Amino acid sequence: MSEEPAKPSGRKRGRPRTVTNEQEVPERRRKQLRLAQQAYRKRKETTIGNLQNRVHELETGIENISQSFLSFSSLLIQEQLLSQYPHITSALQNITQQCVSLAKAGSDGSTEEPLPPNQAAEEAQITKNNTAPAPVPDKEFSETSTDAEDIIQSAATRWPGPPTPPYQGQSTLPFDLIMSSSTVQFPQITPPLSNSPALDLLSSNIMPDRQWNIAQSLVRTCCQGGYRLLVDNPNSPAVLRIFGSVPSLSARNRLISGFYDVMQDKTGVLIDPKAHVLHALQSNMAIFSSEQLQVPSKIWQIALESSTGAWLDASGVQGYLHDKRVLFENFPDSSGRFDCSVSSSLDTTAFIKSLSKEAICVGSGPVFRRQSVEKALRLATFLAFPNIMAATTQPTPFGKPMLKHWMFDPAYKNLNHGSFGAHPIPVKDAQRAFMDLADVRPDPYIRRYHAEHLDEARKAVAELLNARRDECVFVKNATTGVATVLHNLAFQPGEALIYFEPVYGAVEKGIVSLQEHSSLQSRKVSFQFPITEDELERRFREVIRQTREEGLKVRASVFDAIVSNPGVRFPFERLTAICREEGILSVIDAAHGVGNIHLDMEKLQPDFFVSNCHKWLYTPRSCAVLYVPRRNQHLIRTTMPTSWGFIPAPDSPETVASVLQDSNAPVTKTAFEELFEFVATTDDSAYICVPAALKFRAEVCGGEDAIIAYNHRVANEGADAVAATLGTEVLQEPDLKPGEQSRMRQCSMTTIRLPIAVAAAGKEAESLDHTPLVVLSEEEAPKAFSWIQTQLVDKHNTFLPVFRHGPWLWTRLSGQTYLETSDFEAVGVVLRDLCERVAKKEFKA
């Protein structure tokens, strides 16, 4: 029996395993090594992750410390504690150095060196004195800089900002980035310190009181907004939208430094360059390429678009407002003057704050879209609307002092007010306010409030004319009013209309056009000025008699209140009485009536009367009042064009439910009023400016009597002066006795004969009553007076209408409250020179 092998005894705990197979040893050791390496790598990764988290926490802490210290420093500066407690200056300097060192250590690739001892001591003294440092020239951009992220380049100059925050007293950086988000609010700064009062920059010495113009105020407001945003909420998502990227700590400090120094600027030396950035950028564009300037493509595009006016810098905004005569109360113009009329009721604060939220950076300052400027202006006007309507203006003497209320180019002398009229700045403000109300809330304004303002305007003009409100409506101009009346009279076969020789050209063409489309026949009272009123009445009655002898019924007569050319008063009162006596409808074209002469509808009793308000009543163009007494309103069936107020005749075959009025609608106005209340979709803001115009005439000019008296006087004195210079005469009645006043000259326009005659075909020059300087042929005359008018505009910055009436050339003057007799004396000398040049036939050159 064989012997069995002995079994190994069991291994005791703690003893190494006995390996009998030597081949298993290397493999086991390699496995143990792999496990140890894996454990080591895991512990290493965990340690590195923990270190990274701690580094991030440290960087965040550094950032918070710097932010807190910046707010604390601002608070000390505001409260002027440095000058009151100078012993804390050294401690403040040490803390400053520590914050700067921490900021440098926490920034990526920072190569900035600490301040040398002498510079640190110098700036400690600056901090001690609480004085803003004097600006020093920026160093040129260095291509060897390693902190590319921290260098916020100026697109126009390529200069970096200073390396330290404002509490180090360093030089300011150019205004490289500006806030541009409309969502950014401007709250007061609350420093991240417990129990710290709010820092209100507007009431502190950071924003000193002085008279800044609009451009400077825009730059300061943008800097203030940027300062508050970066100090209060540097991690806000708005920062990315505003600055294009989130600036690093040192970059943010430099931005804050720049904003701070601009807000400290009391002279404008830092502010003014930032208001003219587009000019500087465009100048550099002519020399360098976008790559050389390192300008982003967006900025380059803005610079190109700025040449078309699509973008404006702060200075451009001020120029835009100046061109539109939008000047704010207590804000000087670019030259610092205050001697101009201002739009005193516009909300200046709203304009600047609204526009600053729309700013973006180009170069070293803010730029704005033109649409943003217009939007901010509308908002400022809208918010100030109640003040505009209630604003009062101090009385102003007539003559040159009155010019400040008007929008004329200072180089231009407006001697022809009668042709197109003009309106003063307060009336323009009122119109702008109404237009902005329509733009801000279109439906509520157009559907509801416009009619209310229109009723107020009709009431105001009705009181001026001594008429009822329900007898007065508005149309675009006198030509439209006359055409509307004649179109509605619906002339039947055998009916005729009589008008007078010096009728307004557009009205005469309207009569001719009406004859082409109806059975209307017309007859003209022919004559030439000068003529007596008695002779004019005789000729009118004679034409009436002759027309009736032809078997025609004289249905209506059209005549002027004041003739346009020549500019003389017409005896419309006598002619109206004759029409009433003869059973003829009187249609008075008083284009130059309202605001020029006193008018009383109750006394005059015309059948139809229309007068422009934009010529002499100071309303904007275009606005005319149409007066139709109740007895004749049934004759006016439609407007031109026919619109929503039209009511079809009950027996009309075209009458259908879709065009009839709602029988359940409340009746608050007459059919005549509703007919003209909404005539298509047009800008009727000029209509509702009548109250503002009358307010200006009463408060600034002293009322209707004062205006009319002055205008008549200056027009007649000016006419006498021009006639004396030319050696001619003023047009008036031929039978005036010594000391007797001319009725033809009792208006704000006068007409003076030029010493230039026109030889009519078949007549000799010897038949003229006066000796002319030159006699022109009928072919030469139009060229001559056209040349005179061109010379007046191009060479002398004024205009006078020159025209032929009878065998002579004449010119017309318009008196107005902003003119003086000396203005007409000066133009008389110019006219004499031009007439002498006409005699030399220079107009043929």
Length of the chain: 845
Q: Which of these ranges, 357-361, 572-576, 837-841, has the smallest mean pLDDT?
A: 357-361
d(CA 167, CA 74): 8
Q: Which residue has the higher pLDDT, 831 or 239?
A: 831
Would the pLDDT of 782 be above 90? yes
For tokens 């390693």, the residue is: 146
The one-letter code for the residue type at 592 is H
Q: Which domains does the chain have, with CATH numbers?
A: 214-288+295-331+341-383 (no CATH), 437-647+671-700 (3.40.640.10), 705-844 (3.90.1150.170)
Closest to 755 (Cα-Cα) out of 777, 718, 725:
725
- 364-368, 370-374, 487-491, 604-608, range with the lowest pLDDT: 364-368
The answer to whether residue 522 scores a pLDDT higher than 70 is: yes
Instruction: Output the average pLDDT for the chain.
Output: 77
Model confidence at 80, in pLDDT bands (50, 70, 90)?
low
pLDDT digits (tens, 9 = 90+) for 402-430: 999 999 999 999 999 999 999 999 999 88
Whether the Cβ atoms of residue 594 and residue 616 lie closer than 8 Å to each other: yes
Tell me the C-alpha distance between 481 and 473, whole Å: 10
Cis peptide before 334 (omega within 30 of 0): no
Task: Identify whether the C-beta of residue 382 lies closer than 8 Å to the C-beta of residue 437.
Answer: yes
Percent of the chain with pLDDT over 90: 42
Higher local confidence (pLDDT), 193 or 25: 25
Q: Which of 823, 836, 833 is nearest to 797 (CA)?
A: 823
Tokens of 714: 């200056």
Strand arrangement, sheet containing 360-362? 311-313, 365-369, 360-362
Q: Residue 203 pLDDT > 50, yes or no?
A: no
Higher pLDDT, residue 127 or 454:
454
Determine the pLDDT at residue 149: 30
Residue type, 632: N
The CA-atom distances, in angstroms, between 274 and each of 176, 208, 265, 313, 719 are: 9, 19, 12, 9, 52
Rounded mean pLDDT, 110-126: 42
Residue-wise DSSP of 181-241: -TT---PPB--SSTTPPPB-GGGSTTS------HHHHHHHHHHHHHHHHHHH-TT-HHHHH
Give the model's pLDDT for residue 40: 85
Mean of pLDDT values over 820-829: 97
Query: Residue 409: which region, alpha, beta or left (left: phi > 0; alpha: psi -120 to 50)?
Result: beta
Report the share of the chain in percent with pLDDT over 70. Answer: 68
Tell me which of 20-29, 472-481, 502-511 is least confident. 20-29
pTM comes to 0.61
Query: What's the pLDDT band for 313 if we cut at 50, 70, 90?
Result: confident
Q: Which of 103, 111, 107, 105 is nearest to 66 (CA)?
A: 103
Per-residue pLDDT, averaged over 160-175, amounts to: 34
Residue 158 pLDDT more than 70?
no
Q: How confident is the model at residue 471, as a pLDDT?
A: 96
Q: What is the pLDDT of residue 125?
A: 43
Give the integer Cα–Cα distance in Å for 699 and 586: 35
Q: Helix or strand or coil: residue 701?
A: coil
pLDDT digits over 626-676, tens only? 999 999 999 999 999 988 888 887 665 554 444 445 555 556 788 899 899
| Tens of pLDDT, residues 705-724 | 999 999 999 999 999 999 99
Q: Cα–Cα distance between 119 and 648 in angstroms, integer?
A: 91
pLDDT (average), residues 431-435: 88
Highest mean pLDDT among 14-23, 254-263, 575-584: 575-584
